[in-house]
Amino acid sequence: MEQKISMVSASLNGVRISPRKMRLVADLIRNKEIQKALSILEYSSKKRVSYFFRKLLLSLLSNWKRKYEQLEDINLYINKIVVNQGKTLKRLRPVPQGRGHRIRKRSSNISVFLGKNKK
C-alpha cells in the first residue's frame, strides 16, 4: 500500500515588492520540477523577485527533507503558487498648491506547495 503524502508548503510574508511583479516570475516556475525551477530563477536574476523565490524554494526543499527524510529518486514539482497582497504602506507626496497625492507601497505574501510526480 502506498503511503499517502500530504502537502509540504513554505511561505514568505511581507516582501516589499508588489504582487503584480511577483506574479510575473511565479508564472515562469508554476508546475515545473523543482530543479528546473531553481535553474530558471538562477538565470532570471535580472528580476529582483527571483532572489526571494529561490530562497523560498530552498526552504521548501528543506521542509520536505525534514518531513520525509529522503530527497533522492523523487520527482518533486511545484504544485501550487499563491501570491497575495500583503500590507500596504501609505505615503504622501507633496504636489503644488499645498496638496498631497497618496503613494501606495505594496507588499506581497507568497505561499508555495510541493507535490510529487507519479513517474
| Any domain includes 45 | yes
Residue 92 lies in a domain: yes
pLDDT of residue 1: 38
Residue 94 lies in a domain: yes
We report the CATH number of the domain holding residue 97 as 3.90.470.10
Q: Is residue 1 part of a domain?
A: no
Which residues touch 25 (CB under 8 Å, ≥6 apart)? 41, 44, 47, 49, 50, 53
Question: Does residue 16 fall inside a structural domain?
Answer: yes
Pairing of strands 99-116, 76-95: antiparallel
For cell 530563477, name the residue. Answer: 41
> How many structural domains does the chain have?
1
Query: Domain containing 107: what range?
Result: 8-116
Q: What are 70's strand-pairing partners?
A: none
Q: What is the pLDDT of residue 73?
A: 55
Instruction: Give the predicted TM-score (pTM) of the model.
Output: 0.83
Q: Is residue 2 part of a domain?
A: no
Residue 40 in domain:
yes
List the pLDDT tens digit at each of the 119 positions of the chain.
345 556 789 999 999 999 999 999 999 999 999 999 999 999 886 778 999 999 999 999 888 888 887 666 578 889 999 999 999 999 999 999 999 999 999 999 999 998 877 55
Q: What is the pLDDT of residue 5?
A: 56
Cell of 5: 503524502
**3-class secondary structure, 79:** strand
pLDDT at 58: 93
